[in-house]
Structure formats: structure tokens, C-alpha cells
A and B are shown apart, each in its own frame.
Chain A
Amino acid sequence: MIRKVADKPLISGLKPYGMSYTAKKSEAVFLLYEEYEALRLCDYGGYNHCEASKLMGVSRPTLTRICMSARNKVSMAIVEGRQLIIEGGKVEIDNEWMKCNQCHCLFVKLQDEDCWCPLCGSKDVSEAQKDGEDVDREMPLKACCGNGRRHRCQERTNTKIYHI
């Protein structure tokens, strides 16, 4: 199952500093791209697991598992003073598809700098729109998280819906 990631992380990892002499040198912790994205959506972005799972194109239980593993790895890096490297994972990055307006081809962007069409060399390129499957990222999704207990699901919208 391919997990969708909105954009690549800004950094490729984090290094600890100010290690005490008693700290043992240990190996780095590898945080996968999908785990980074789950942390970004749930903890940084404030989405609930149901909304985040729809954005990433996975089921809600899978998203919860990814999120748990991500928090475990981040806490391991902090507590054990280990280096954190963000790489790998089964992901598809959403924002990397570009469209050339001259030869009408779609291509994958390689670097963030100057971007030109790899076929015709034209600089007239724009971000490609996915056909109809794109989710509006600004609005919270109108979906219930499937939790059986009474709770408020759409805190950030004006219409508060209570599920029983």
C-alpha cells in the first residue's frame, strides 16, 4: 500500500548535541517518510487520525500504527540521545509532479531549484493537478473517525456534530 506524502521534509535528519560523557554512542534511528508525514499531520497539523488517514490514503488503523511507531522512534532518539534520520518508506510524494505547458508532458521534479521540462527544455512548467482525486487540504474532512464513544468530531468547523 502506497502512502501519500504531501512534500519532502525540509531536513534529512536531526543530530543530538551536548552529549554527556556517560552517554553511549549508539546507532541512528531511521524515521520513515510516512512516519514523518503522520507526525506532521497529527501532532503538528492538529488533524485527527481519521482526517490524516484520508490525506495519506491509508486506513485509520494503519495511520494509528504509523503514528505510534513514529512517536516511539522520536522518543527513542530523544531519550537515548540518538541521531534521527528521515528516509525510506513506501511513499508517493504528491507535489513532485510537474506539467510542461509546451509539450504537454507530465514529469517528476528532481530538485527544488530551476525546473525545466526534461523533454523539450521549456521553462514554461506548472504544478500538475491530479485528476479529481485531490483532497482539499485547507478544510477539515467531514468524516467521523469511527470511534464508538460519544465525542466531538469536527472541532474546527462551525457545525459541531456529536456522534453517539
Chain B
Amino acid sequence: MKVAISSNGDNLDSEMDSRFGRCKFFAIYDSEDQSTTFIDNTAASLTEGAGPAALQLLTAQGVSKLVSGNFGIKIKSLSSDLNVQLIVMRENHTIRSIINILNH
């Protein structure tokens, strides 16, 4: 199962971005082989509809859970159709600490 986390930078010590559609990178954590890959968020520079474009980018990678600080209204209705679970973290965390929580 793959989990996407919105991220400020492309390493494990960077902080989670509180925005979903316009974050710089996505950290994709694969719980099966416990690997993390970072991908560029190409949707961030769009003037409109960055969230749905980012969601499309991630579902193409097979992501089934999204972790971010907040999600826009377009994502809320789209995600239930695509069977993607949304998780909202209100506190500041690094990517590494979120992966540690995920591994419990």
C-alpha cells in the first residue's frame, strides 16, 4: 500500500507541507518494501485546479492514502470517488516522523 505525504523538500528530514495541491514534492512511502521515493509536484505551478491535477498524478502511482495539512473542497468530493483516504495532520512533522508513526 502506498501513502503520499506532501513535502517541502526532497529528503526525509524536510517538513510536511500544510498545503496539498501546491506543495513542492510528494514523498511516496511504500509499506510493502518500506521504501520512500520523492516526486516533483508538477501540478504546483498551475493557476487553477492544482489539487485535482496532483491527485491524478498520485493515483497514477497507485497511492491509496494522502497525508497533508489541509485539503481543498475539490479533493474532498473527488477522493471518495477514487477510493483514496484523506488524512489531515494539523501539527508540524518531518517526513521521517510521519513514516515512523505509519510503521508504529
**Which chain A residues have a beta carbon within 8 Å of chain B's beta carbons?**
2, 90-93, 103-108, 110, 118-121
The answer to whether B89 touches A90 (Cβ under 8 A) is no
Known: A90-B77, A91-B77, A92-B76. A106 touches B87 (CB 8 A): yes
* 4 closest A-B pairs by CB: A106-B88, A107-B87, A108-B86, A121-B104
Q: Complex formed: what's the CA distance from A10 to B79 in Å?
A: 20
Q: Complex formed: what's the CA distance from A119 to B29 in Å?
A: 12
Q: Which B residues are CB-close (under 8 A) to A121?
A: 104
Main SS class of interface, A = loop
Q: Which A residues are CB-close (under 8 A) to B88?
A: 105-107
The answer to whether A2 touches B101 (Cβ under 8 A) is no
Q: Complex formed: what's the CA distance from A133 to B80 in Å?
A: 22
Q: Which A residues are CB-close (under 8 A) to B102?
A: 119-120
The answer to whether A92 touches B86 (Cβ under 8 A) is no
